[in-house]
Amino acid sequence: MVNLPNDDKSCGWYSVLPTPEPAKKLVGTQKADYAIIGAGFAGLAAARRLAELKPEARIILVDAQRVAEGASGRNSGFVIDLPHKFSLEHPDPELKKKLLHLNRTAISQLQGLVEQHNIDCQWSAVGKYQGAVGERGEEHLSHFEHLMKNLGEPYHWVEKAELSSVLGTNYYSRAIFTPGSYLMQPAALVQGMGNNLPENVELFEESPITDIQKLNGNWVLTSNKGTVITPKLLLGTSIFTREFGYLKNRLLPVMTFASWTRPLTDEEMKIYKGDLNWGLTPADHAGTTLRMTADRRILIRNTYKHVPKYGKSISDETRQWVQTDHRKAFLARYPELAGVPLTHTWGGVYAISRNFTNFFGELEDGVYASACDNGVGAAWGTISGTLLADLVVGADSQDLRDIQYVTDMPSLNPPEPFLGLGVKFRINLAKWQSRSEL
């Protein structure tokens, strides 16, 4: 029994998009040279690259939901060039350089698609702030400075007065600014890429695959009203990869939550006094992510939950409790905007591994996957999906060798109930330790 995505319907990013055309659903028996499950960053990138490498092939891309309804359309809108916090601490400098190069290749690829197809997704090269609230956060910033020096990457300190003029709040004591990150509207970007796929890619939405089996040398993908028969299957399914029996005891499903306001009025902007279009991530990784969008919305993201049943693990009552916490975080930063409501609160599920390792490669004969983004999906999904297509068709490159260098097998998890208890304890401990930075 496959546990399907069960996302809430309150994602702010998706709610403001134009209503899409009715979904084309998988019906009947379809034959394809290549099939891809999952139309997020990884699946879309894999489909586009396969179409480029094999222009005469029929490529089928299938998703259980509408494009941009899932995790890829639910993040905070950062495309980050730097290796993730945990990867930055890796002892191998070559690994960090390769990750940096791969992330920047992905950013360049995404920018090219935005420009080529005129995707209206607030794409902007504005860098990002890593902000500290107090002493604990500043200690993390000092450590981050050390890591940046070792990596040889540009950064600069932003002191309280300058920072408050940008953010419109004096809540933060200091920050480090890094110039290489981009901001975007994730659901708009993902939907835009889905609307502009190559001609030999056929997209089926609202068609959850509930079973995959090998029959007569081909893979048979079964949905409720149709099947796909293909010799080559690519999984861009992230945490849901385990639902098909792969990496089953190696991936941890975690959900993080965000809320945002309606657009601020002209009068509220005068009260706010900060800039538009910036993003701040917390110096302490369990702290609060903060954004002001290009269209005047303030976004708050914090709170993590272990979600073994994905969206079904979260009730409406839990989302209300999360929004209450987000409201407190918002008012702590912007008390003068107390009249501005939070209009949407949503969660997004992603995969992490105990050793913070991403999986990339062949799972068994004819089945390939990029799985476990460890919370940095936009750049990683884009480059890993692209290079997974290269791997499938045998197109060697330095980038392919680099991604094979930086990936490995995620660690095995302990059995339940110890796993669930351990994850819950770690999340609660991190929240308690970081309480001064929330």
Average pLDDT over residues 301-326: 94
pLDDT in tens, 149-160: 999 999 999 999
Model confidence, pTM: 0.96
Whether 79 and 378 have beta carbons less than 8 Å apart is answered as yes
3-state SS of 333-345 is: HCHHHCCCCEEEE
Q: What is the pLDDT of residues 44-56, one digit of tens each?
A: 999 999 999 999 9
Q: How confident is the model at residue 375 (pLDDT cuts 50, 70, 90)?
A: low
pLDDT > 70: percent of the chain? 100
Q: What is the pLDDT of residue 367?
A: 98
* Token pair belonging to 395: 């197109």
What region, left, alpha or beta, does residue 122 occupy, with left being phi > 0 and alpha being psi -120 to 50 degrees? left
Q: What's the pLDDT at 156? A: 98
Give ∠ CA 161-167-172 in degrees, rounded to 5. Answer: 60
Measure the CA–CA gap between 161 and 140, rounded to whole angstroms: 20
CA 258 to mean position of chain CA atoms: 13
Amino acid at 352: I
- DSSP type of residue 186: H
Give the separation between CA 435 and CA 36, rounded to whole angstroms.
41
CB count within 10 Å of CB 260 equals 25
What is Dmax (Cα atoms) for the chain?
68
pLDDT tens sequence across 19-45: 999 999 999 999 999 999 999 999 999
The enclosing H or E element of 45 equals helix 41-53
Q: How far apart are CA 380 and CA 219, in angstroms?
A: 27
pLDDT band at 62 (very low <50, low <70, confident <90, very high): very high
Domains defined along the chain, listed by start: 12-73+188-250+357-418 (3.50.50.60), 125-183+252-354+421-437 (3.30.9.10)
Token pair in block for residue 81:
């060039």
Q: Report how far residue 438's alpha carbon sits from residue 434's, in angstroms, rounded to the nearest whole number.
A: 7
Residue 407 has pLDDT above 70, yes or no: yes
pLDDT of amino acid 2:
86
Instruction: Give the pLDDT band (50/70/90) at residue 326.
Output: very high
